[in-house]
Chain A
Amino acid sequence: MTAPDPSGPVLEVRGLSISLPEGGDRTNAVSDVSFTVNRGEIVCLVGESGSGKSVIAQSVMGLLPQTLKVAGGAILLQGEDITHAPVSRLRELRATRMSMVFQEPMTALNPVMTCGEQIDEVLSEHTQLSPTERRAKILATILEVSLPEPERIYASYPHQLSGGQRQRIVIAMALILDPALIIADEPTTALDVTTQAQILQLIRDLQARHGTGVLFITHDFGVVAEIAQRVAVLRLGELVEFGARDEVLKNPQHEYTKMLIRAVPTLAPVDRAADADAPVVLQLKHLSKTYIDRGWLSKKREVHAASDVNLEIRRGQTLGIVGESGSGKSTVARCVVRLIDPTSGEVLLSGEDIATLSPGQLRPLRRKVQIIFQDPYRSLNPRRKVGEAIIEGPLNYGTGRSEAIERARKLMDLVRMDPASLERYPHQFSGGQRQRICIARALAMEPELLIADEAVSALDVSVQAQVLALLEEIRGRLNLAMLFITHDLRVAAQICDHVAVMSQGRVVEYGAATEVFLRPQHEYTRALFAAAPGRNFAFSSGHA
């Protein structure tokens, strides 16, 4: 056994190649990747989906799926080659010298064990400490990750904690044996922006205090700007750029890095002269949605998903609703489409109240409002051809089949896809292409109002930029009103004329985008802006 070498890098990856099973889209998941993580340093591994960044993390931890094999190169942890280390050795090293923080804290924790017991498992496995010593150490660690009331947290089950608190427990578990290397695989992606800011701060503090090397995997350049010291950019399994943060972000050398950074929307709102006299397409008056949870034996519980929401959208304009998860922004959208029935208030569509219409009365009005959903992989029926999906709506409203197909072809042109795609099934398309198909499907109804419910949130940044540009172009060309729902302030800044900020079911701030972004009035809005990752960092700016 080699003694850990304190002077050298904590992690050294040399010419690492990992092969994919035959029949994949490429031969290697990772090819010839080399980088190092030094003591007390945070290295960010950035890339879009499929770039192989998670595979690298798994290979370091020895957690590669059976189908993937290390084809070449070496992984050195404090000078020790662990590329082909036996399972027993890897088990010794995990938690003691390297540990991992996962993306989804709810699934990373065992739901039937208390948080304390789960941390205790790490200690009893790797140390000779007595139960009382272990307990003391755990309570100290819980305090160190800034969780209140360590005794209560120790005895809590994961579901009793919030997402941010759970992630702190996962970090505590990773940190407790003071490992030399922590691998954080998208640790803040599943969290709200304000929680994300706190977790990033925590990781930075702890890492500085313990001198840990951190390999931080992310797709978000805002997070990179916030936390990284050095950055490695991956594209399709190849390392295209590796260097100091400011070097890479401000003066990128590779075309791909340039493109990625260009695709990051800026936080500065685009000032557009919105016509204040355009006809109002949608007006919400005192819209509320209350869920009543009537248990059999339990007390009646009311959840106000949305209360007293007043908004309006004019033709040719975009209203953005921003907020964190559970703020009620999707509830509003679903009330407008009448996928759910509002509890009270009015939804005026070109002056006509649709909030209380019966399904029969609603049917002719449905085509005026169309929605695009977040998850492109679930918003198309996997067993129907793309063409069938697009002509479904027009056929419902009595358009002839051949006419509908003709129109679908034109729409495919509009969303820049090959009309021949109409004959194919959804699984033959990538996420961005599917989202284009969903846009075409919505446009086939010739709506007056287009609702985009987190429509670009599931997409990679470069694809996100393309879809945003497309939406913007369509809105302008067809003079549509658009309701754009997002948690991402950068996206909202780029596309919205007006912005409503929602928190706990209420609109806390509502006004022109330039006003809200440049002069936020409400405390919550300010907190939201302050939490936006990379807000102080000027990315090589803007759209050409």
Chain B
Amino acid sequence: MATDSAAEALSTESAAVVRQDSAMQRLRRNWSVRIGGVVLLALVFIALAAPLLGTVDPTLFDAGSRDLTPGQSGEITTLDGDSIKHTFIMGSDSFGRDIYSRVLYGTRVSLMVGAFSAVVALVFGILLGLLSGYLRWLDGPLMRVMDGVMAIPAILIAIALVAMWRASLLSVIIAIAIPEIPRVTRLVRSLVLTIREEPYVEAAISLGTPAWKIMLFHILPNTVAPLLVQGTYICAAGILVEAILSFLGVGLPPDIPTWGNIMAEGRVQFVTFPHNVLFPGIFLALTVLAVNILGDGLRDTLDPKMARRS
């Protein structure tokens, strides 16, 4: 059909389709993502390389080096009983432990708790949200249970759960993740309810695709962007909750240094030696801020509703 091809050439549709930048390209251009990402990468580096950054074992103490102010030199006793010279960059606490080493090792705990509590909350939230959104008869009972969980303050649930189990990294992560699950469930459920009405899901139904495949291959991939954003917020909240638990003395065992228990130990002498609280506090604030900024950047670039507004 000659006329047809001529019409096609003239049709404005045969003009080039606008090339969209991929999500990755947009992410790399976004300043919030850049700043948050760089700070977080630096923190991850600190956590991984803590033994190489001039630290000593964070549990070491020396009665002769108690309450040193930042920058002072002193001695510290190793596990073998040798005394070695050491500069206390961030000073020492009332047991004579090196705060610099404790803060750096504390980074490991905070980042791990943040990341894993987000992962645990997301995994369970996605599972429950998909079930609740797709199986209508399960929706009512499941969501009422979630409402019940949300009615109890998160920190109380966490304290109760840690108290029930032996305090360990795993129990703290789970205790922090559980109160976050209802929020993720709600988010996933609302996304599922919207996406399941999309024509491409209806098309899949008429193609004979079984329900579990529709959930996994059609609905779930389209919830990734908002979930990623939600994940960063859970991560930030998890880091804070862990610090609170440790500060209250109900978190990880006291022999593991965390920002929370460093601050708890420094609290009594805060007026005379503010650095005990200050340095872990700065790290905590910086980490939470970086994670939240990264989350904002992700939301701006990945969420199409936000993208259109700019």
Q: Would you give the 0/1 interface string for A213-244, flagging 1 where the beta carbon is closer than 8 Å to chain B?
A: 00000000000000000000001100000000
Q: Are A49 and B208 in touch, CB under 8 angstroms? A: no
B36 to chain A, nearest CB (A): 25
Contact of B207 among A236, A263, A396, A465 (CB under 8 A): A396
Once the chains bind, are A51 and B207 in contact (CB under 8 Å)? no
Q: Given A48-B12, A337-B206, does the pair A378, B7 have CB atoms closer than 8 Å?
A: no
In the complex, B282 has a CB within 8 A of chain A:
no
As a 0/1 sequence over residues 186 to 208 of chain B, the CB contacts with chain A under 8 angstroms (1 = contact) are 00000000000011101111111
A48-B13 contact given A263-B7, A375-B199, CB 8 Å threshold: yes
Q: How far is the CB of A30 from chain B (nearest CB, A)?
A: 14
CB distance from A248 to the nearest CB of B (A): 16
Residues in A with CB closer than 8 Å to B199 are: 373-375, 378-379
Pick the most buried of A339, A369, A429: most chain B CB atoms within 10 A of its CB. A339
Known: A366-B208, A392-B209, A396-B209. A466 touches B203 (CB 8 A): no
Interface presence of A431 (CB below 8 A): yes
Q: Is the CB of A382 within 8 A of B207?
A: no
B198 to chain A, nearest CB (A): 6
B13 touches which of A262, A389, A397, A463 (Cβ 8 Å)? A463
Q: Report how far A337 CA is from B206 CA in the complex, Å.
A: 7
Known A236-B15, A379-B200, A544-B3; judge A256-B208 contact (CB<8 A).
no
User: Is the pair B12, A49 in contact by a Cβ cutoff of 8 Å?
Assistant: yes
- B1-41 toward A: CB 8 Å interface, digit per residue (1/0)? 10110111011110111111100000000000000000000
Size of A's binding interface in residues, CB under 8 A: 57
Q: How far is the CB of A155 from chain B (nearest CB, A)?
A: 33
Interface residues of A in 362-396 (CB under 8 A from B): 363, 366-367, 369-371, 373-375, 378-384, 389, 392-393, 396
Contact flags (1/0) for A32-58 with B, using CB distance below 8 Å?
Answer: 000000000000000111110000000
Taking CB atoms and an 8 Å cut-off, the chain A residues in 1-31 that contact chain B are 23-26
Stretch in B83-91, B136-144, B216-224, B226-234 with 4+ CB within 8 Å of A: B216-224
Q: For the complex, is A245 an interface residue (Cβ under 8 Å from B)?
A: no
Chain A 169-197 interface residues, beta-carbon cutoff 8 Å to B: none
Interface 0/1 of A239-262, CB less than 8 Å to B: 000000000000000011001001
Are A462 and B218 within 8 A (Cβ)? no
Interface residues of A in 403-430 (CB under 8 A from B): 427-430
B305 CB to nearest chain A CB (Å): 15
Verify B12–A384 contact, CB threshold 8 A. Answer: no
B148 close to A (CB within 8 Å) = no
Pair A463/B11 contact, Cβ less than 8 Å: yes
Closest A residue to B11 by CB, please name it.
A462
Question: Which residues of chain A come closer than 8 Å to B21, judged between CB atoms?
Answer: 23
- Chain A residues whose C-beta falls within 8 Å of the C-beta of B4 in the assembled complex: 466, 469
CB <8 Å contact, A427 and B15: no
Q: How far is the CB of A280 from chain B (nearest CB, A)?
A: 21
- Check: B210 CB closer than 8 A to any chain A CB: yes
Least CB distance, A541 to chain B, in whole angstroms: 14
B207/A445 in contact, CB under 8 A: yes
Decide if B13 touches A339 in the complex (CB within 8 Å): no
Q: Which residue of B lies closest to A20 (CB)?
A: B18
Interchain pairs with CB closer than 8 A, number? 117
Instruction: Give bound CA distance, A95 to B17, whole Å.
Output: 37
Which A residue sits closest to B16, measured CB to CB?
A25
A392 partner, pick from B6, B11, B19, B204, beta carbons under 8 A: B204
Chain B residues near A465 (CB-CB < 8 A):
7
Within 8 A of B (CB), among A68-120: none
A213 to chain B, nearest CB (A): 27
Please give me the residue from chain B that is nearest to A543 by CB atom.
Answer: B3
Asked if A441 is at the interface of the complex by the 8 Å CB criterion, the answer is yes
Q: Does B17 lie within 8 Å of A25, measured CB to CB?
A: yes
- From B8, B207, B208, name the one whose CB has the most chain A CB atoms within 10 angstroms: B207
Q: How far is the CB of B196 from chain A (nearest CB, A)?
A: 11
Q: Which residue of A lies closest to B224 (CB)?
A: A383
| The one of B8, B15, B206 that contacts A371, using a Cβ cutoff of 8 Å | B206
Q: Per a CB cutoff under 8 Å, which of A259, A263, A367, A396 touches B210?
A: A396
Name the A residues within 8 Å of B217 (CB-CB). 381, 384
Interface size on B, residues (CB 8 A): 34
Collect the chain B residues with CB atoms within 8 Å of residue A374's CB: 199
Whether A262 lies near B203 (C-beta < 8 A) is no
Given contacts A375-B199, A392-B204, contact A383 B10 (CB under 8 A): no
Rounded to whole angstroms, the CA-CA distance of A431 and B206 in the bound complex is 21
Give the chain A neighbours of B16 by CB distance below 8 A. Answer: 25
Residue of A nearest to B12 (CB): A48
Q: Is the CB of A373 within 8 A of B203?
A: yes
CB–CB A381/B218 < 8 A:
yes
Contact indicator B208/A462 (Cβ below 8 Å): no
The reply to whether B11 and A259 form a contact with Cβ atoms under 8 Å apart is yes
Q: For B198, list chain A residues within 8 Å (CB).
A: 378
- Which residues of chain A come closer than 8 Å to B200, judged between CB atoms? 378-381, 389
Contacts of A262 in B (CB 8 A): 3, 7
Q: Which residues of A contact B207 (CB under 8 A)?
A: 366-367, 370, 392-393, 396, 441, 445
Query: Is residue A438 contacting chain B, with contact meaning CB distance below 8 A?
Result: yes
Complex Cα gap A385–B165 (Å): 47
Q: Are A430 and B17 in contact (CB under 8 A)?
A: yes
Contact at B202–A462, with CB atoms within 8 Å?
no
The reply to whether A50 and B12 contact each other, CB–CB distance below 8 Å, is yes
Q: Within the assembled complex, what's the spacing in Å between the Cα atoms of A23 and B19? A: 8
Measured CB to CB, the nearest residue on chain A to B217 is A384
In the bound assembly, the distance between CA atoms of A359 and B210 in angstroms comes to 10
Per the bound structure, the CA–CA distance linking A396 and B203 in Å amounts to 13
In the complex, residue of chain A having the shortest beta-carbon distance to the beta carbon of B202: A339
A460 CB within 8 Å of chain B: yes
CB-defined contacts of A50 to chain B, threshold 8 Å: 12, 15
Docked complex Cα distance between A259 and B6 (Å): 9
Residues of A within 8 A of B10 (CB): 235, 255-256, 259, 462
- Closest Cβ of chain B to A306, distance in Å, is 18
Q: Determine how close the nearest CB of chain B comes to the CB of A383; give it in whole angstroms.
A: 4
Tell whether A432 is near chain B: CB-to-CB under 8 Å.
yes
Q: Would you give the shortest CB distance from A435 to chain B, in whole angstroms?
A: 11
Q: Which residue of B lies closest to A391 (CB)?
A: B207
Query: Least Cβ distance of A448 to chain B in Å?
Result: 13
A204 to B1, CA, bound (A): 41
CB-CB under 8 A from B6, the residues of chain A are 259
Report how far A428 CA is from B206 CA in the complex, Å: 25
Within 8 A of A (CB), among B222-254: 222
Whether A466 and B221, one on each chain, are in contact in the complex, defined by CB atoms closer than 8 angstroms, is: no
Contact B206 A366 (CB under 8 A): yes
Residue of A nearest to B210 (CB): A396
CA A262 to CA B6, docked complex, whole Å: 12
Q: Is the CB–CB distance between B7 and A259 below 8 Å?
A: yes
* Chain B residues in 8 Å Cβ range of A366: 206-208
Which of B18, B20, B209, B218 gathers the greatest number of chain A CB atoms within 10 Å?
B18
A438 touching B203 by the CB < 8 A rule? yes
A/B interface sample: 20 pairs, CB < 8 A: A24-B18, A25-B18, A47-B12, A50-B12, A339-B205, A367-B208, A370-B206, A371-B202, A378-B200, A380-B200, A392-B204, A392-B207, A396-B213, A429-B17, A430-B17, A438-B203, A462-B7, A465-B7, A466-B7, A469-B4
> Beyond A383-B222, A384-B217: 10 further Cβ-contacts under 8 Å?
A25-B18, A26-B15, A48-B11, A256-B10, A371-B202, A371-B206, A379-B199, A393-B209, A427-B20, A429-B17
Closest 6 CB pairs of A and B: A393-B207, A379-B199, A373-B199, A462-B11, A383-B221, A366-B208
Taking Cβ atoms with an 8 Å cutoff, the residues of B that contact A are: 1, 3-4, 6-8, 10-13, 15-21, 198-200, 202-210, 213, 217-218, 221-222
